[in-house]
């Protein structure tokens, strides 16, 4: 009881004085070096087994062709969405089945990927997207981080002088990199009838993207 009373009578807590909250960022623009091509097909039949068999046949043939050129890190292949669903009449009865299958070609070797996509005849191009490889992103994030820290320090120094202080010390700081969104699409779906001639490489043109690192925190003016 006495100890509680003694604590209650202690000096009140006072917030720290002359603390400045601020943030800064660093941005680096870089060429996209990762290509992703999604190939897809759809099938429709009276029963589910037929649709599944047709999709599997088309996908197996595409995989066999794609695997001939696989080179880990430069050109990788993976299956995408594989779906099968019933088709209903207005009365709610099943009158058929439909399904779709996807194959994704991805990597940094653009010629190898586009040529392979052109040779696959059982699937059509569904989407083409560009992004950054892990190696490229890590390198660029380091550059952006250095810029962000320099900008933070410069901003803190200028603000300290502006408020009439000689300098500052760091109190707390956090660094966050903009991880970016998913692969950016550059081409819409292409129908089977519009698919390019066999063996013709798919035309692609990557763009640039920005990697941003944000630094925020507080400094003690002194």
Judged by DSSP in three states, 75 sits in: strand
Regarding whether 62 and 28 lie in a shared domain, the answer is no
- Average of pLDDT values for 148-171? 95
Asked if residue 112 and residue 44 are part of one domain, the reply reads yes
pLDDT tens per residue across span 186-206? 544 444 334 444 566 778 888
Q: Is residue 193 part of a domain?
A: no
Whether residue 11 is contained in a domain is answered as: no
Confidence of residue 184 (pLDDT cuts 50, 70, 90): low
Total number of domains constituting the chain: 2
What pLDDT does 56 receive?
A: 97
Same domain assignment for residues 111 and 137: no
Q: Are residues 22 and 49 in the same domain?
A: no
Predicted local confidence at residue 200, as pLDDT: 66
Global pTM? 0.75
CA distance 142 to 138: 6
Domain assignment present for residue 186? The answer is no
Instruction: Give the pLDDT confidence score for residue 100 in this predicted structure.
Output: 97
Residue in 26, 60, 25, 56 with CA at minimum distance from that of residue 43: 56
Q: What is the pLDDT of residues 7-58, one digit of tens each?
A: 455 567 777 789 999 999 999 999 999 999 999 999 999 999 999 999 999 9
User: Where is the domain boundary, 67, 98, 131?
Assistant: 131
Write down the pLDDT at residue 186: 52
Final residue in a domain of this structure, among 131, 149, 165: 131
Domain that holds residue 26: 16-33+133-180+209-222
- How far is the CA of 218 from the CAs of 21, 24, 154, 158, in angstroms? 4, 12, 14, 14
Give me the CATH number covering residue 93. Answer: 3.30.70.2970
125 with 155, same domain? Answer: no
Structure tokens at 32: 């996209």
Considering the domain architecture, whether residues 143 and 219 belong to the same structural domain is answered as yes
Task: Assign 185 a pLDDT band (cuts: 50, 70, 90).
Answer: low
* Cβ atoms of 165 and 208 closer than 8 Å: no
* Same domain flag for 45 and 75: yes
pLDDT digits (tens, 9 = 90+) for 57-115: 999 999 999 999 999 989 999 999 999 999 999 998 999 999 999 999 999 999 999 99
Please state, in angstroms and rounded to a whole number, the distance separating the CA atoms of residues 55 and 38.
15
Residue matched to tokens 């068999």: 53
CA distance 167 to 150: 15
CATH number at residue 172: 3.30.110
Spatial separation of the C-alpha atoms in residues 46 and 67, rounded to whole Å: 32
Q: What pLDDT sits at residue 54?
A: 97
Distance CA 183, CA 162 (A): 43
Q: Is residue 2 in a domain?
A: no
């Amino acid at each position: 009881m006495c100890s509680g009373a003694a604590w209650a009578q202690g000096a009140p807590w006072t917030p720290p004085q002359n603390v400045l909250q601020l943030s800064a960022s660093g941005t680096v623009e870089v060429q996209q070096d990762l290509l992703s091509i999604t190939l897809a097909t759809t099938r429709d039949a009276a029963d589910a087994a037929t649709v599944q068999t047709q999709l599997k046949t088309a996908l197996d043939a595409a995989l066999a062709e794609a695997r001939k050129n696989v080179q880990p890190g430069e050109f990788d292949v993976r299956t995408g969405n594989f779906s099968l669903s019933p088709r209903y009449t207005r009365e709610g009865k099943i009158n058929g089945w439909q399904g779709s299958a996807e194959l994704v070609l991805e990597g940094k070797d653009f010629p190898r990927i586009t040529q392979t996509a052109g040779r696959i005849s059982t699937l059509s191009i569904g989407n083409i997207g560009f992004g950054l490889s892990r190696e490229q992103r890590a390198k660029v994030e380091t550059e952006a981080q250095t810029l962000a820290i320099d900008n933070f320090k410069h901003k803190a120094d200028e603000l300290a002088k502006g408020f009439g202080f000689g300098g500052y010390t760091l109190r707390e700081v956090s660094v966050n990199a903009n991880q970016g969104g998913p692969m950016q699409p550059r081409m819409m779906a292409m129908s089977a009838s519009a698919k390019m001639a066999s063996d013709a490489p798919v035309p692609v043109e990557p763009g640039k993207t920005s990697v941003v690192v944000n630094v925020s925190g507080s400094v003690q003016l002194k």
